[in-house]
Amino acid sequence: MNPKIYMAPMSGITDLSFRLISRKLGATQCFFEMLDANAMMHDHPKNARLQKTLKIDLPLAAQLVGAEPSTMLDAAEKLTSLKDISFLDINSACPAKKILKKGAGAALLKDTARLGKIVKNLASGLRIPVTVKLRSGFDKKDVAECVKTAKVCEANGARVVFIHGRTVSQGYSGDVDYESIKAVKNALKIPVFGSGNIFNHLMAKKMIDETGCDGILVARGGLGNPWIFKNIENYLKNGTIPQTLSLSVKKKVLKEHLACIEKYKEITEANKIGFMGKVTMWYSKGLYNAKRIREHISKVRSYKDLLNLIDRVV
Ligand SMILES: Cc1cc2nc3c(=O)[nH]c(=O)nc-3n(C[C@H](O)[C@H](O)[C@H](O)COP(=O)(O)O)c2cc1C
């Protein structure tokens, strides 16, 4: 068995700079940040920013969120005509209220007829594989319901199912429901990936051992830790325990990450500094003086000042 290790889609996180740094250190398959099908059809300027990529940023998947089967297909066709995408994922996992209100994201878990229609439309209309990202449930754990939903995806042409093993009510905290992922894996013929609490090589192994899944999605475990992909790969392949990184190695990669943001991120200067501060905090997690560093970061007003701060304290 050789489980696949993908970078999970994360809105506001998996931008071009995040992907480039992660790829440099071992990530292979990455996702654009989630794209809204309606915004896609209205050429919303934010959408163009989200689709920023480079030739080296491959293979790259995209994820669409929406509720209307025809709009989803139109948006998918538009996207695939513009970008070299390895597969198209349908978001049936997003718990954000404004998405749920539109009947999209995890709301599709409660309307599997609609979910099935969307999958069918895209799977029959596109030349690339279509996948679905699910949560294990909406309000409460229900293994049979989770299997039923995944089967709807498979029957309508999905080629992979990704399952975040938490309910919508759980949000992003609490235990991961390995049981539901395992049940789906045993019930489906197509590959099943597990997502949730993959913060290091051991937790990756746990997901695989507990569920028998064909692959995993690395999400928050990759924040400030682009080494995680290689660490997991090496551990699964030959049991290699990851080395502890020196501060200077971490600083070097953080600075490369910030340089990518400076170069590629098209947002206002103030927002860019704020974003860089957030990224710096990811990398400073676990340092003995992290709290003080965070206080300093919040006061920084320019890229140059942030680099100076990193040289001095991080
Ligand atoms: C900030 C943030 C944004 C996310 N955005 C998306 C998204 O756009 N689409 C999606 O399918 N999942 C999204 N997720 C969920 C992750 O892909 C993943 O399934 C989840 O974080 C569980 O993995 P973890 O516990 O290892 O972080 C997001 C998660 C976070 C923390």
Report CA(95)–ligand 1 centroid distance (Å): 10
CA of 96 to the centre of ligand 1 (A): 11
pLDDT of the residue at 87: 98
Instruction: Enumerate residues lining ligand 1, CB below 6 A.
Output: 8-13, 34, 63, 91, 93-94, 133, 164, 172, 195-198, 217, 219-221
CA dist 260 and 289 (Å) reads 26
- Burial status of residue 41 (CB atoms within 10 A of its CB: 0-12, 13-18, 19 or more): middle
Greater confidence (314 vs 85) lies with: 85
The residue whose two tokens read 């190695």 is 249
Q: Which residue is listed with tokens 């551990």? A: 235
Q: What's the chain's average pLDDT? A: 96
User: What pLDDT, in 10s, does the model give residues 275-301?
Assistant: 999 999 999 988 878 888 889 999 999
Percent of the chain with pLDDT over 90: 93
**25-76 confidence digits (pLDDT tens):** 999 999 999 999 999 999 888 889 999 999 999 999 999 999 999 999 999 9
- Tell me the CA–centroid distance for residue 93 and ligand 1, in Å: 9
Least confident of 15-24, 207-216, 295-304: 295-304
Ligand 1, atom nearest to 218 Cα: 26
Look at residues 42, 155, 119, 178 and name the one whose alpha carbon lies nearest to residue 108.
Answer: 119
- Residue 30 annotated as catalytic: no
CA of 90 to the centre of ligand 1 (A): 14
pLDDT > 70? residue 314: no
Atom 4 of ligand 1, residue of closest alpha carbon: 10
CB 62 within 8 A of CB 85: yes
State the pLDDT confidence band at 132, using cuts at 50, 70 and 90. very high
β-sheet bridge partners, residue 92? 134
Question: Does residue 270 carry a pLDDT above 90?
Answer: yes
Task: Kindly give the number of the ligand 1 atom that is closest to the alpha carbon of 34.
Answer: 8
pLDDT at 1 > cutoff 90 = no
94, 146, 213, 260: the active-site residue: 94
Q: For the residues 5-33, what does the mean pLDDT come to?
A: 98
Q: How far apart are CA 89 and CA 122, in angstroms?
A: 10
C-alpha–C-alpha distance, residues 113 and 149, integer Å: 10
pLDDT at 291: 85
Domain boundaries, the chain: 4-238, 247-312
CATH 3.30.1370.160 fits 4-238, yes or no: no
- pLDDT score of 209 more than 80: yes
Instruction: Please determine, for residue 97, whether its predicted confidence score (pLDDT) is greater than 90.
Output: yes
Q: Is the pLDDT reported for residue 4 higher than 80? A: yes
Phi, psi of 133 (to 5 degrees): -105, 120
Amino acid identity, position 30: C
What predicted TM-score, i.e. pTM, was given to this entire model?
0.97
Q: How far is the CA of 311 from the centre of ligand 1 (A)?
A: 31
Ligand 1: which residue has its CA nearest to atom 29?
10
Query: Which of 164, 206, 282 to probe ligand 1 with, by most ligand atoms within 8 A of CB?
Result: 164
Question: At 234, is the secondary structure helix, strand, or coil?
Answer: helix
Q: Are 62 and 53 in contact (CB under 8 A)?
A: no
